[in-house]
Structure 1
Amino acid sequence: MTKRLAGKNCLITGAAQGMGAAVAEHYAAQGANVCVADLNIDGCNEVVERIEANGGRAIAAKLDVSNRSEVASAVQATVEAFGSLNLILNNAGINKPLMFLDITEENWNQIMKVNALGVLICMQEAAKQMIAQGKENGPYKIINVGSILSREVFDDVVPYSCSKHAVLAMIKGGAKALAEHNITVNGYGPGVVRTELWEQLDKDLVAIGKFEKEGESMDSLAENMILMKRYSYPEDILGTATFLAASPDSDYMTGQLLMIDGGMVIQ
């Protein structure tokens, strides 16, 4: 079977668990060499071990995406390990729900620092490396993970919604800025995905009184807002994530955000 990402060198942020880990392992299974980057270095090492046990190549990097020097170091580590950087997937993100009148400066700043500024820094540092490698060695891919909240807003997660709207803006702006360098910028927008992040979000929503018991948020959204009548799992995301990464499947596509939400948001 042909491996769609054979020889591609990738950096994936927020890859110690959840969707990031699932995509890292899937990319490696499709032939990519992967730098698994996250603040949780122990989790990164576990993902690397699973990739190597299945015959893939991977390295781990401890990374705070809002720290430019650490991002630059992760990019360099990828290049040193694999020879170049073909793709970055900006998956790292955080959320902490609060009702609108309860949002604090600390809550706002923390979410925007990781989800918006962190994506910008990662895009910039990856693009600098790609440009240095020469456009003739492309095409290069930048993939940003958006959300249903890149196109919608709920009153209990306004800072997160703003940060994911910013991600959409950076997809569009980055596509316009980087096309001349043979770099495409696209993204995908998951909905309700059963991961550690959502399970924590579910607990937080109970804590602020949005729902009465744990698990109710996912079930309620599936029943009332998702056309497919179920929430998703990381495996539901892998096909789209691979399409955006694999050349030449998506080479003539840039500036786009593909929704993978079971029909939760249609615009």
Structure 2
Amino acid sequence: MAANSLRNAIITGASQGIGKAIALRLAKDGFRIALNDVPSKKEQLDSISDEIERRTGNKACIAVADVTNEGQVEEMVGKATTELGGIDVMVANAGVLHENSKIVDMPADMWEKVFAVNARGVFLCYKHAARQMIAQGRGGRIIGAASVASKRAGMEHGAYGASKFAVRGLTQAAAQELGQYGITVNAYAPGNPMTEKFASHAEALAPYGWSTPTNYKFGEPEDVASLVSYLASKEAHYITGK
């Protein structure tokens, strides 16, 4: 980003966990924030907006949308652009896990639900953020949520792992296409930070011998947020397609 560019960021799935931590960290870094999640999370987004205002003096924009719906994603980007004065960073963080299910037992609708959010949702956020950034002509940062499962998928989580592999492939392709516009595209791939979403699965994963507190150190959402903070910074201008 140019030194005189605005500092505006959209974070999807921002109502809790990693998304909330990223929103709070980027607000601390000086970004104006557009908070996104589905309509049922509006009250939580309001609370985070209030927290950002208390901590930084800036009120965050709330852009409710379902990231699987292209029209809503386009409206989200438009609202954030209008209220903040442009978009410099898109963090396509929204994602879902699924219950343990072997591939031979997995219902097709489980597969489709996971891909709708984790792959289609990231694609739509990349697409419409990139269009806006190209129109602005000042570069930008697009950052997606992959996972350690994007490098080695776990048993009984085939849909989740495959969807996160898709994020990596999309990120690498987008980085090559968008570099000419000064837009970097990267994905973060954390292990298992102890978020509300992951906590509900930890007990089920314990029999595999790596998820219990006695033999596995969980990260925190703030650990992931610190990496995103760097990828969103001017110092990360030479990193893309990762």
**Under a length normalisation based on structure 2, what TM-score does the superposition of the two structures give?**
0.92
Which segment is superposed worse, 161-170 or 97-106? 97-106
Residue of structure 2 in register with 1:114 after alignment: 117
Residue of structure 1 in register with 2:241 after alignment: 255
Matches within 5 A, 1:172-211: 172-202=172-202, 205=204, 211=206
**1:237 aligned to 2:238?**
no
Percentage of matched positions with identical amino acids: 31
Amino acid at match of 1:44: L
Q: Is the 8 A contact 1:28 1:57 kept in 2?
A: no
* 2:66 paired residue among 64, 67, 75: 64
Which segment is superposed worse, 52-61 or 176-185? 52-61
Q: Is the 8 A contact 2:6 2:86 kept in 1?
A: no
**1:102 aligned to 2:105?**
yes
Q: The residue matched to 1:35 in structure 2 has which SS? A: strand
Residue of structure 2 in register with 1:226 after alignment: none
Q: CA deviation at 1:201?
A: 2.3
Matches within 5 A, 1:115-130: 115-130=118-133
Matches within 5 A, 1:134-153: 134=137, 137-138=138-139, 140-153=140-153
Q: Is the 8 A contact 2:50 2:59 kept in 1?
A: no
Return the structure number with greater relative CO, CA threshold 8 A, min gap 6. Answer: 2
* CA-to-aligned-CA distance 1:40-98 (integer Å, 9 cap, x gap): 11111111111011123311121110101111111111111111100100100001131
- Extract unaligned runs of 5+ from structure 1: 224-228, 257-267
Distance 1:74 1:120 in 2: 14
TM-align CA RMSD: 1.8
Q: Is the 8 A contact 2:93 2:145 kept in 1?
A: yes
Distance 2:178 2:84 in 1: 23
Q: Is the 8 A contact 1:90 1:119 kept in 2?
A: yes
Q: The residue matched to 1:88 in structure 2 has which SS? A: strand
- Extract unaligned runs of 5+ from structure 2: none
Distance 2:172 2:79 in 1: 28
Q: Is the 8 A contact 2:115 2:163 kept in 1?
A: yes
**1:38 aligned to 2:37?**
yes
Distance 2:120 2:102 in 1: 23
Amino acid at match of 2:192: V
Amino acid at match of 1:100: I
Question: Structure 1 segments of 4 or more deviating over 3 A?
Answer: none
Q: The residue matched to 1:57 in structure 2 has which SS? A: coil
